[in-house]
Amino acid sequence: MHTYAYLRPSALRGSAAGRALALETSGGVTPAGEVANPRLFSGFLTTPAAAATALLVVADVAAARYYRPGGRAWLDPVVTAGGDRLRFESFSGCCGVYARLDVLAPGFDGDDGDGVGHGTTNVDVNLPLRRALAGLGGLDPLHLAVGPGELAVRTVDGEFVERKVPLPQRWLRGFAEAQVLAAGFALRAEVPAVEAAAVLRALPRPSRRPDAGANRWVVPAGRTLRPTTRPVPGAVCLPGPERLLPLGTVLRHATAVRVYAPAAPAAGDGAAAVAWEVQLPGMRLTLVLSPRASRGFSGEGAVLNDLATGRAVADAERVAGLLAWEPRIDVTDLSAQTGVPAGRVRAGLTVLGMSGQIGYDLAEEAHFHRHLPYRVGAAETLNPRLRGARALVADGAVRLEGPLARVGMGDDAHVVRADASGRLSCTCLWWATYRGGRGPCKHVLAVGMVRATAAHAQMDVTTDVAGTAAAAARSETAR
């Protein structure tokens, strides 16, 4: 259980002539260390109605379960202050939808010229606040305070609010998987908001019919999206398309909508993750859908190849020391500062993502830093396939035979093959079921670990031989 402790409930206060949106914070992390109730921002929003509607979408996703609805799914959104922006993030209760609202510099005006602070925490978005946000309209000014106000009055038995809620590891794994998947997306379409709204109106409503949640596709055609019921060439998947419906409320404020999806077509039935990014005045609202309504981001396995590399954990520690809530992480710059190759920096970022420290911004094509206000264990504790692979390697159960490898003992052995491109496949049930669509199996991971170790050993031998030859040449020259 994780305790959210707020000094008082969040609320939308004031009259129609001037509203004040006070978002209370729970324990978080700032440059000064852990803080019980950090204050991250105070100022006016430049487009109040759009901001309120977009924030409500993030809160509604946190309160929803799109797969097997009806279970508890109330978790408070995470907010990160990065110096020049605020990011509000949440996952659905089924962990199949990730939502993020980026309030950029044009979207706010800090009090007395103050900007956004630095830190990450949770914000209270309760039911009364959601109702108030839903009723906000017009062009009246809206003041936003993230964190307790300087003049807040509290009594001994005042407004302290404490909620104990289950904090599933699925959120942590979801943060890691979503950013790895998003980093592999490409911009597939950019359309006016009215075209996107037409697509959403044609989507099926949520229901319990057997075909509910069936995938749909759209084909980008200039500035439009042409719906189709099958994965034709060039089509973008809309997996569990009813999960996009929350965007319908915010499109009236939008200037454009961008659709991102994997650059390469998906194998099999064409099911693939997708992201819709709504461009708002001074803001961006992004919704990322998992490849199926029944599949949460926490089980996709996209992070496993990076986590299996032997140096990733050590590289992550070196990279972490340079992060400070940057809204944009430059991998090339981190590589230069740490002396670690860019590929290993990216693997290190994946390791940091397992503790919720890294996200990915599609619009800027860059990672960003957050520091979640709760602790997690090692990556292995969150990934049973990774633990299984390390156990196979430790038991000496991996035998390399050229392009083939045998993993396991006796009747439990499986064959791992490498194709012409170096892609590995396996004869186990996991691989037969998902064909790599949910990340590698433990046997493929184990083979990758053993081959990487062998390659590093060969590199060390080559380096030693070259060093010995160079020393001999210098000695001969001296004589």
For the chain, what percent of residues have pLDDT higher than 90?
43
- The mean pLDDT of the chain is 83
Q: How far is the C-alpha of 237 from the C-alpha of 239, rounded, in Å?
A: 6
Angle between helices 442-478 and 384-394 (to 10 degrees): 60
**Is it the case that residue 167 has pLDDT exceeding 70?**
no
Q: Which residues on adjacent β-strands are paired with residue 324?
A: none
Q: How far is the C-alpha of 142 from the C-alpha of 70, rounded, in Å?
A: 34
Q: How far is the C-alpha of 254 from the C-alpha of 108, rounded, in Å?
A: 17
Q: How far is the C-alpha of 105 from the C-alpha of 283, rounded, in Å?
A: 9
DSSP one-letter code for 297: G
pLDDT digits (tens, 9 = 90+) for 271-284: 889 999 999 999 99
Tell me the average pLDDT across 158-186.
79
Q: How far is the C-alpha of 288 from the C-alpha of 275, rounded, in Å?
A: 4
Q: How far is the C-alpha of 28 from the C-alpha of 9, rounded, in Å?
A: 17
pLDDT digits (tens, 9 = 90+) for 203-218: 877 665 544 557 899 9
**Residue ranges of E strands in 200-264:** 216-221, 224-228, 236-238, 256-262
* Band of pLDDT at residue 154, cut at 50, 70 and 90: very low
177 touches 303 (CB < 8 A): yes
- With tokens 């992060």, the residue in question is 323
Structure tokens at 202: 């044609």
DSSP one-letter code for 333: H
Is 313 strand, coil or helix? helix
- With tokens 């959210």, the residue in question is 4
Distances from the Cα of 276 to the Cα of 99, 189, 398, angstroms: 10, 10, 42
Q: How far is the C-alpha of 409 from the C-alpha of 427, rounded, in Å?
A: 14
Q: How far is the C-alpha of 100 from the C-alpha of 184, rounded, in Å?
A: 18
Tell me the average pLDDT across 381-404.
85
pLDDT digits (tens, 9 = 90+) for 426-458: 999 888 887 777 778 899 989 988 887 777 666
Structure tokens at 232: 């034709």
Question: In this predicted structure, what is the pLDDT of residue 11?
Answer: 92
Tell me the average pLDDT across 364-393.
78
- Long-range contacts of the stretch 198-202 (C-beta < 8 A, 24+): 199/225, 199/227, 200/244, 200/245, 200/247, 200/248, 200/251, 201/248, 202/227
